[in-house]
Structure 1
Amino acid sequence: MSNEDITLTAGDAEVTVRPGNGGRVGGLRVGGLELLRQGEKFGCFPMVPWCGRIRDGRFLNGATVHQLPLNSPPHAIHGTARDGAWRTARASEREAVITYDLVDPWPYAGRVTQVVTLTEDALTLTMAVETYDDSFPAQIGWHPWFNRNLGGDDVRIDFSAAWQEERGEDHLPTGRRTDPKPGPWDDCFGMPGGVDVTLTWPGQLELKVAGREEWVVVYDEQEAAVCVEPQTGPPNGLNTLPRLVTPIEPLEASTTWTWRRL
């Protein structure tokens, strides 16, 4: 099938899926309000096969050192799948399934499947990385750009994290954990009970970002948008907390965003 845009609808919610533009969710409209920042690089893109920055673009698999292109010098950032064209496996009114085959510069063969499911009050994104070849470390995450403002007051971000990863001068976790500090943030937080972050646009909409994984990066240093990024490990996690994809065990993760009008 093609990689043309897909539109999902449920009640007054509408989602645009863009397989041809990095497998991203290009838009999420609720009652006519567009929640995601618009543009080729925005919306909500999948971070796979890694999330955030990899130090110097290098990671180990056993004793083998791999070098990735430094697309955010001096680091490699946010995986390769957001730069590729995904293919539509199937689509219906409320669900789309899209796939992406891992290719250079990623050094291992594998397939990513993303399922986008819409109901009247929730959007669920599920991703899996699988291989029938060599095992490799990987991460899964999502990078939504939520509009800071929907025409009223600015969004408020509320969450309770068990810890904050201390951020070094190079923007990567130092390995130390601290008590969560007030924003602005470009920081990774730990939530052992699962990701649970609430965005509130006062008088308009409340949206909860949830997931079973225990890591979330919150980024609110830009004027136009804020990012709440659930992921399967911290930045540089291919090196510090590798999760192996093997022929008998894929890596899977999901996040659900639930909203209500205020």
Structure 2
Amino acid sequence: MWLDDPAIVATVVTLSAGAQRVVIAPEVGGALAAFYETTPDGPLHWLRPAAPAAFAERDPLRMASFPLLPYCNRIRDARFEFDGGTIDLAGNDARFAHALHGNAWRHPWQVGARTESSVELHFEHEPDSRLRGDWPFRYRAQQRIELSGGALHITLSAQNLAARPMPFGMGHHPYYPRTAQTRVYAEVGAMWHADADVLPTHLGPHPAVAALREGMSADAFDLDNNFANWSREATIAWPDEHRRLTMIADAPFDHMVVFAPANEAQLCVEPVTNTTDCFNAVGMREQVGGCVLQPGEKIAATVKWTPHKN
């Protein structure tokens, strides 16, 4: 296990409070590598721990969770219209046909103030016109990560440093352990149906809406969808292991993504401020989310994960 690898340990920041631990990889997109509890039988993981290759390849997609700024999930064809012009993000990552998850996760973050149980990470984006598809707005972002009161708290904040308005969204992308018994509980109003490119087509009913209220099996549907009118609280439960993890988010994390693909071990329940492709989406602002930050304007919100044992 990489937790015992001195080369990896030297690159991470580990926070502790009682038996809880959070391992952070600032150089890998400011991602969390693990959130676990020490026990006599070894670590009890509340988030899916990072794969060893995630460090070698600097791949946040194989970490435990990573920040999403300045937008969440995909932008269709990597372009959108804003303030009288076209924002073209094509070419920022050849792996994806559509722009994905913003740019903060693709860069190292700087470590700021730190205590035994908390740390601040900083990232500042300076647009580079020489880089095709670079985000054309200057902004500053921060994560404050803290273990407190038996819970993991992450406060995401950002400020528009550009001289013009900037479209904006943010979120975090946590992966959870997934077993045959895993259940997800959440109060949601409707689901964004999606096309083959996982881009939203319309907001409407779906059996997953009712299933989430009752405790949806992670294997019930093939999901990579946004949910609207979320109560900003969700619980991931492992009844066979007699434990559960409750996630509570502040506004404007008013949207939730569930990624539970069929026949895969992955499970994400993501608090986000905007639905996929929100800069192109047609609908009322409360349905698609996101915002416009004026020059100098700041935004901040917190997500809390609280473990429970039955």
Same fold (TM over 0.5): yes
**Given the alignment of the two structures, is residue 118 of structure 1 paired with residue 147 of structure 2, yes or no?**
yes
Amino acid aligned to 1:66: I
Q: Which residue of the partner structure matches residue 198 of structure 1?
A: 235
Q: Please say if residues 165 and 174 of structure 1, whose CA atoms lie closer than 8 Å, have aligned partners that are also in contact.
A: yes
Once the two structures are superposed, the pairs formed by residues 7-156 of structure 1 within 5 Å of their partners are 7-31=14-38, 32-35=43-46, 36-39=48-51, 40=54, 41-69=62-90, 71=93, 73-104=96-127, 105-133=134-162, 134-149=164-179, 154-156=181-183
Cα contact 1:49–1:139 (8 A) shared by 2: yes
Q: CA deviation at 1:42?
A: 2.0
Q: Say whether the 8 Å CA contact 1:243–1:251 is kept in structure 2.
A: no
Q: Secondary structure at the match of 1:56?
A: helix
The answer to which structure has the higher helix fraction is: 2
Residue type of the alignment partner of 1:139: G
For each residue in 1:85-126, what CA deviation from the matched residue of structure 2 results, as whole angstroms up to 9, or x when unmatched? 000111111111101112441111110111111125211111
Between the aligned partners of 1:4 and 1:10, the Cα distance in structure 2 is: 20
C-alpha separation in 1, matches of 2:255 and 2:207: 13
Q: Distance in 2 between matches of 1:107 and 1:158?
A: 38
**Which protein is bigger by CA-based radius of gyration?**
2
Please give the alpha-carbon distance, in whole angstroms, between the structure 1 residues aligned to 2:229 and 2:306.
18
With normalisation by structure 1, the TM-score equals 0.90
Q: Which runs of 5+ in 1 are unaligned?
A: none
The alignment's C-alpha RMSD in Å is 2.0
Deviation at 1:259, TM superposition (A): 1.1
Range moving further from structure 2, 20-29 or 208-217: 208-217
Comparing both chains, which one has the higher relative contact order based on Cα–Cα distances under 8 Å and sequence gaps of 6 or more?
1
Which AA in structure 2 matches 1:244? V
C-alpha distance in 1, partners of 2:182/2:37?
Answer: 16
Residue identity (%):
26
Deviation, 1:188, is 0.5
Q: State how far apart, in whole Å, the 1-side matches of 2:18 and 2:146 are.
A: 13
Matched, 1:217 2:240: no
Q: Which has the higher strand share?
A: 1
Residue 239 of structure 1 corresponds to which residue in structure 2? 280
Q: Deviations over 1:154-205 (max 9, x none)?
A: 421122211111212331111333245362311110135x321111112342
CA distance in 2 between partners of 1:176 and 1:189 (Å)? 9
Q: Deviations along 1:10-55, whole A, 9 cap, x unmatched?
A: 1111001111110011110123212323222321011111101100
Query: Equivalent residue of 2:121, what SS?
Result: strand
5+ residue gaps, structure 2, are 1-9, 55-61, 128-133, 209-219, 282-287
TM-score by length of 2: 0.77
Cα pair 1:101 1:111 within 8 Å, conserved: yes
Q: How many residues align?
A: 256
Tell me if the contact between 2:236 and 2:246 (Cα under 8 Å) persists in the aligned partners.
yes
Contact 2:227–2:257 (Cα < 8 Å) also in 1: yes
Query: What letter is aligned with 2:198?
Result: H
Does structure 2 conserve the Cα–Cα contact (< 8 Å) formed by 1:47 and 1:142? yes
Q: Cα 1:164–1:124, aligned 2, differ >3 Å: closer, same or farther?
A: same
After TM superposition, the structure 1 stretch with the greater mean CA deviation from structure 2, 65-74 or 206-215, is 65-74
